[in-house]
Amino acid sequence: LATKVSDAVIRRLPRYFRQLCALDGEGVAKISSLELSRRMGITASQIRQDLSCFGGFGQQGYGYSVSFLRGRIEQILGIDRKYGVVIIGAGNIGQALAQYAQFSARGYEIAALFDVDEALVGNTFGGVEVLHIDSLESFLQHHPADIAVLAAPEGEALELAERLARAGIRAIWNFAPVDIVLEGVAVENAQLTDGLMALTYRLGELRRGGK
Amino acid sequence: LATKVSDAVIRRLPRYFRQLCALDGEGVAKISSLELSRRMGITASQIRQDLSCFGGFGQQGYGYSVSFLRGRIEQILGIDRKYGVVIIGAGNIGQALAQYAQFSARGYEIAALFDVDEALVGNTFGGVEVLHIDSLESFLQHHPADIAVLAAPEGEALELAERLARAGIRAIWNFAPVDIVLEGVAVENAQLTDGLMALTYRLGELRRGGK
DNA sequence: TAGATTGTTAATCGATTAACAATC
DNA sequence: TAGATTGTTAATCGATTAACAATC
C-alpha cells in the first residue's frame, strides 16, 4: 500500500476514471473486473492488481461499485480539488489551452497567460488576460499557482522552467520539445511532435506489413 | 533486426532524434553512447540496445556520427517524407494545430479542417480552410491524406474514427478523451486531460512527501 | 599497436498474467 | 449455503542493465 506506485499504473488511472465516468453516466451501478477488462482491453488481473495498490475498493463476490470507485480514483488522482494554473507562452497552444472548456470545467482555474511579445500583452483568451513575462514572479507571489503550463518556444523553455521552479511551482505541464528534469518538481511531458513521430513510425510499420 | 520493436523503444526514438538535432546544431560531429546517456539521463546500455534494433549505426572505438545517426533515425521514424493531414474538428485544438508552425515546417501538410458547425465552415486558420464534415469522404477521395487528427468532442469521436478508417485513413492522432481501437489503423492517443491527471497525481505525491 | 567503444549475449529487475484462498 | 468475484501470492514474460568479446 505504501510502496511506490509505478508509472505504468499511474498512466492507467485516468483511463479507469474515464471508463467509470462513462459507466456512471450510463446508469451502471456495479462492475466486475472482468466486465471492465472487456470494455478496456486490459486483463482483469491487471485491473485488480492496479487498484490494490491503493486499497481494497471492491467486494468479493460482487465487484466494484461504479460511483464509489470513480470517487476513490478521483481522490487518488487529486482531481477532486481545484488547481490554480498559469500558462507560459500565449502562442497557438497557450491560447487554445486557455480556451479549452474541458479544463475550467474540471477545476483547473487558469489565472493568467504570460508572454514576452508586447503585442500579445493585454489581450484576452477565454477570459484570461495575457501578462508580460517580466511580471511572472510578482504575480505568482500574489496569486500562488499549483501548475504551470509551459508552452514557450524550444529555446526559452529550459530557462523558463527553472524560473518557475524558483518561483515555487511544483508541477509543470511541458509542451516544449525539450526534456525537462528539475529536482522536486513534477514534470509531465506533453510533447506533441514526439507523439506524432511515434504515429508515423507505426504507420510505416503498417505499410511495410509488419504486425 | 526483423523482430517486433517494442513500444518503449519507439517512444524513445523521438527523444534521440531531438538530442541529435540539438547536437548537430551545436556542431558536434561524433558522440559515444556514454556521452549521450549523460545528456539524456538514460543508460548507455539502453541506447546501444535501442539502436541495435534497427542496425549497427556506430563504429567500435569511435562512437556514432551525429549527422549520420540523426538521418537514420529520421528515416526510421518516417519523418523524412511528407504527410497529408486532415484535421477533424475546428474547435480550439483543431485551430491551434492548424496554425502550429512546427508541423508545416516538418513535412506535415494540412489539407483541410472539418467541422459540423456551419458558422465555422469557410473560415481559414493558418491558411487552411474549414470544410463541412459531410464533404469528408469526397474530399479524401480527391485528396488522399495519410494522417487524420481527431479533435472532435467526446460523443462524436468514435463514430468519426470509424468513418475515417472506412475512408482509407490508416493513422489517427486522437485528441478526444476516448480510447480508440481500430483494426489496421495506427492510433496515437494525445489525450491532454490524461496527462494532466497524471501530473496532479504526482504533484500530490510530492506534497505528501512520497518523493 | 593500444585504447576506446560498439553490438550482443547473459543477468537482473520489474511488470503483467495466472492461480487460488479468502470472503461477501 | 452455493456462486461469484475479490485481493494477493506465485509464475511468466519482457524490458533494462551489466558484462565482454569483437573490432575500429
Contacts 24+ apart (CB under 8 A), A166-172: A167/A136, A167/A137, A167/A140, A167/A141, A168/A140, A168/A144, A169/A86, A169/A140, A169/A145, A170/A146, A170/B203, A170/B206, A170/B207, A171/A146, A171/A147, A171/B199, A171/B200, A171/B202, A171/B203, A171/B206, A172/A147, A172/A148
- Band of the pLDDT at A211, cuts 50, 70, 90? very low
| A196·B177 Cβ contact <8 A | no
Task: Name chain B contacts of A96, Cβ cutoff 8 Å.
Answer: 92-93, 95-96
For residue B43, what are the contacts with CB-CB under 8 A and spacing of at least 6?
Answer: B37
Q: What global pTM score does this model have?
A: 0.95
- Band of the pLDDT at B26, cuts 50, 70, 90? very high
Task: Tell whether B16 is within 8 A of chain A (Cβ).
Answer: no
Q: How far apart are the first and last CA of chain A?
A: 38
Q: What is the mean pLDDT of residues B5-31?
A: 97
Residue B211 pLDDT? 41
| B192·A196 Cβ contact <8 A | no
Torsion of CA B144, B147, B153, B155, to 10 degrees: 80
Task: Tell whether B92 is within 8 A of chain A (Cβ).
Answer: yes
Summarised one tens digit per residue, pLDDT across range A150-187 is 999 999 999 999 999 999 999 999 999 999 999 999 99
Distance CA A206, CA B15 (A): 22
Task: Name chain B contacts of A99, Cβ cutoff 8 Å.
Answer: 92
Q: Strand D proximity: list residues 151-210 of A with CB under 7 Å.
A: none
Summarised one tens digit per residue, pLDDT across range B73-88 is 999 999 999 999 999 9
For residue A107, what are the contacts with CB-CB under 8 A and spacing of at least 6?
Answer: A79, A81, A82, A83
Mean per-residue pLDDT over chain B, rounded: 95
Distance CA B92, CA B21 (A): 30
For residue A66, what are the contacts with CB-CB under 8 A and spacing of at least 6?
Answer: A20, A23, A24, A28, A29, A30, A31
Summarised one tens digit per residue, pLDDT across range B168-200 is 999 999 999 999 999 999 999 999 999 999 999
Task: Tell whether A37 is within 8 A of chain B (Cβ).
Answer: no
Distance CA A160, CA A152 (A): 8
Residue linked to cell 486558420: B125
List, as one string, the DSSP characters of chain A: --SPPPHHHHHHHHHHHHHHHHHHHTT--EE-HHHHHHHHTS-HHHHHHHHHTT---SBTTTBEEHHHHHHHHHHHHTTTS-EEEEEE--SHHHHHHHH-HHHHHTTEEEEEEEES-TTTTT-EETTEEEEEGGGHHHHHHHS--SEEEE---HHHHHHHHHHHHHTT--EEEE-SSS----TT-EEEE--HHHHHHHHHHHHHHHHHT--
Task: Tell whether B153 is within 8 A of chain A (Cβ).
Answer: no
